[in-house]
């Protein structure tokens, strides 16, 4: 991304860093650095189900005992973010322990996060469409931490920072599993309408990204509500995103 845009790019996204963490991080970031020109904020169908890791929040100096209460999960699906976080951390642990060597703590290791572009080995991809499969509903705003996304966008608008809401690609089977895409994308469009500094880059659509190309995904598929890009898929997304940003941002 840095080379493709000819800009200095920093990565802060990582498992466990939801809207609440992002909002608090940006407020801390502003104490030490000027606002960036552009923020790329990746979102997906479960944006309002995310819950930030409490240890990561505590590292930002937040007193969790005196902070807002976070709703407790009531249904199995509402725990999706926690399961995904556990899976992501497990995959990273295996790759680090057996293929890289070194210490953990990548959530605060800037150099590692900038280098990390995903796992290359395939995991579990359900490509064949069964007669029946479980479908996942869309959790509407505010959900767990949607209010923090709103606060973050308000802060970025005051600071005149452009924001690209990047709708991340899912395998076509996962796209069909997360069936209420119309409601999800209508909600994303609301953010772009309400904030003059926000624009959308939607790559979770067959016309904008090859969602059926199996080598671009590690996992996901029909009946599986979550999918992750492979290194090849991440590379393709990176190239497409660079072109879109160059077109939208012009000479910046």
Q: Where are the domains of the chain?
A: 2-64+75-249
Whether the per-residue pLDDT at 126 is higher than 50: the answer is: yes
Using DSSP, state whether 163 is helix, strand or coil.
strand
Across residues 223-242, what is the average pLDDT?
96
First-to-last alpha carbon distance for the chain, in angstroms, is 15
Across residues 113-123, what is the average pLDDT?
50
State CA 151 to chain mean position distance: 17
> What are 4's two structure tokens?
């493709």
Q: Tens digits of per-residue pLDDT, 130-162?
A: 999 999 999 999 999 999 999 999 999 999 999
Q: Tens digits of per-residue pLDDT, 76-90?
A: 444 555 555 555 445
Q: Tens digits of per-residue pLDDT, 21-58?
A: 999 999 999 999 999 999 999 999 999 999 999 999 99
């Amino acid at each position: 991304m840095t080379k493709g845009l000819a800009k200095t790019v920093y990565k802060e996204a990582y498992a466990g860093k939801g809207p609440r963490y992002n909002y608090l991080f940006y407020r801390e970031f502003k104490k030490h650095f000027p606002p960036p020109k552009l923020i790329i904020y990746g979102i997906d169908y479960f944006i309002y189900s995310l819950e930030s890791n409490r240890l990561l929040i505590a590292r930002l100096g937040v007193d969790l005992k005196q902070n807002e209460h976070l709703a407790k999960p009531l249904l199995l699906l509402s725990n999706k973010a926690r399961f995904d976080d556990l899976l992501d951390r497990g995959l990273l642990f295996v790759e680090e322990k057996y293929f890289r060597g070194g210490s953990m703590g990548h959530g605060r290791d800037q150099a590692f996060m900038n280098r990390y572009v995903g796992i290359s080995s395939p995991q579990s991809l359900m490509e064949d469409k069964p007669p029946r499969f479980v479908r996942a509903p869309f959790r509407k705003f505010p959900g767990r931490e949607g209010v923090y996304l709103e606060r973050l966008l308000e802060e970025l608008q005051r600071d005149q920072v452009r924001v690209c809401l990047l709708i991340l690609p899912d395998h076509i089977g996962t796209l069909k599993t997360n069936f209420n895409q119309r409601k999800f994308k209508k909600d994303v469009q609301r953010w772009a309408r309400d904030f003059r500094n926000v624009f959308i880059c939607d790559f979770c659509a067959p016309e904008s990204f090859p969602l059926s190309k199996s080598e671009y995904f590690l996992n996901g598929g029909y009946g599986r509500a979550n999918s992750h890009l492979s290194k090849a898929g991440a590379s393709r997304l990176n190239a497409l995103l660079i072109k879109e940003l160059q077109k939208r941002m012009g000479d910046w």
